[in-house]
Structure 1
Amino acid sequence: MPKINGNEIKIGNILEHDGGLWAAVKVSHVKPGKGGAFAQVEMKNLRTGSKLNERFRSEDKVEKVRLEQKDQQFLYETDGRLVFMDTETFEQVEIDAELLGERRPFLQDGMTATVEYYDEEALGVSIPQKVVCKVVETEPVVKGQTAANSYKPAILDNGVRIMVPPFIGTDEDIIVNTDVIEYSERA
């Protein structure tokens, strides 16, 4: 694994530190008037979910880890575990549903997601950025209402509440941006 200097750490880097795998969540470079520069890094443990704040001086060496990414098909959920299948080898892997957090409801049966592996251990899941959902409940369309920054609440087929433009009605398919969980466009 490549070693990088402490001042080269960027958000999203996966680091091996104190015997664990950590994702850099926040990085701020500090140059005090007295003493050497350092990077203040907030990290999240990929296995336990715990957080850690650490200082790395520019001369400190840190192991940067590359995770292998594989596209896998989502099959089903059982006891808080998500079951994915490799479409080439048909091997199945179980992943903790908490890894998806608030994006979990957007994972649909048969959807292809990217699973990140370290050796043979699955550590992360990312779903497509845009997902098609159906609006099951919203206020009726009001004629003459402009779309100028007036949004109304809607409930999607997966139970998630989001704000949609006034021209969107019940039983309409929309595209939701799963990164920010917001309405993107009509499907």
Structure 2
Amino acid sequence: MQIAVTAIRVGNILEYNNALWRVMKTQHVTPGKGVACMQVEMRNIETGNKTNKRFNSTERIERVILSQREMQYLYADGDDHHFMDTETYDQITLSTDMLDNALPYLLPEAMVTVEFHEERPLNVQLPQAVTLEVVECDAAIKGQTATSSYKPGKLETGAAIMVPPYLEAGTKVRVNTESGEYMERA
């Protein structure tokens, strides 16, 4: 499916130079002179090589259509992560490098959407927000609640997060999976 390069989003799978590429970062650049462009950082799915490509904003690129299946995350076994299709009970194994954006928010029994291209798993999509427990954070300092400062915390998955000063360890919070930011108490 041809899309405008301005519609490229992080996580999209693109077909470029007869290879499949996963979009890692995007930036819309508008210089003072000249034509606007889209700066895209991509990783080759086959080889793992990264490249930065600058597309003219009027160009179009082929976005790969993927089939999606709802799956449950089961467990990690070294660098392998096991998922189960909730309808057929088929299990698949994905490597850690394929899940680099999803790992900080994955707990066993979590439901995710796995995208397939010709029966080959390529991508894992998380829900927009997940509920996780804060296991560590600094103590609140009296009088600090008047400011909008945040303090460092650690989630049960091991991911670092900035939380409001009034939160304590053991509190369940909702986390935005795209930005990794604290949203609210759960």
Q: TM-score range by the shorter chain?
A: 0.7 to 0.9
Greater Cα radius of gyration, structure 1 or 2: 1
| 1:22 Cα deviation from its structure 2 partner | 1.8
Kindly indicate whether residue 154 of structure 2 is the aligned counterpart of residue 155 of structure 1.
yes
Give 1:126's aligned amino acid.
Q
Q: What pairs with 1:3-82 in structure 2 (closer than 5 Å)?
A: 4=2, 8-9=4-5, 10-12=7-9, 13-24=12-23, 25-26=25-26, 42-54=41-53, 63-82=62-81
Q: What CA deviation, in whole Å up to 9, does each residue of 1:119-165 have, x standing for no partner?
A: 11000112223222222222233444324221112222222222211
Range with greater deviation from structure 2 (68-77 or 132-141)? 132-141
CA distance in 1, matches of 2:55, 2:185: 46
Distance 1:41 1:74, change over 3 A: closer
76-85 vs 20-29, greater mean Cα deviation: 20-29
Judge conservation of contact 1:47–1:123 (CA < 8 Å) in 2: no
Gaps of 5+ in 2: none
Shift in Å at residue 102 of structure 1?
Answer: 4.8
Q: Kindly report the root-mean-square deviation, in angstroms, between the aligned alpha carbons of the 2 structures.
A: 3.2
41 and 111 in structure 1: CA distance in 2 versus 1, 3 angstrom threshold = closer
Q: Which residue of structure 2 aligns with residue 95 of structure 1? A: 94
Distance 1:44 1:168 in 2: 37
Aligned length: 181
What TM-score, normalized to structure 1?
Answer: 0.77
Q: AA paired with 1:156?
A: L
> Which has the higher mean CA deviation after the structures are superposed, 44-53 or 83-92?
44-53
5+ residue gaps, structure 1, are none
Distance 1:91 1:39 in 2: 39
CA distance 1:154–1:83, change in 2 (3 Å): same
Amino acid of the structure 1 residue aligned with 2:86? T
Alpha-carbon contact 2:102-2:124 (below 8 Å) kept? no
**1:46 offset after TM fit, Å?**
2.5
2:111, 2:58 → 1: CA distance? 41
Taking every aligned residue pair, what percent have the same amino acid on both sides? 41
3-state SS, counterpart of residue 140 of structure 1: coil
Name which of structure 1's ranges 167-176 and 57-66 shifts more when overlaid on structure 2: 57-66
* Structure 1 position 84, deviation (Å): 0.7
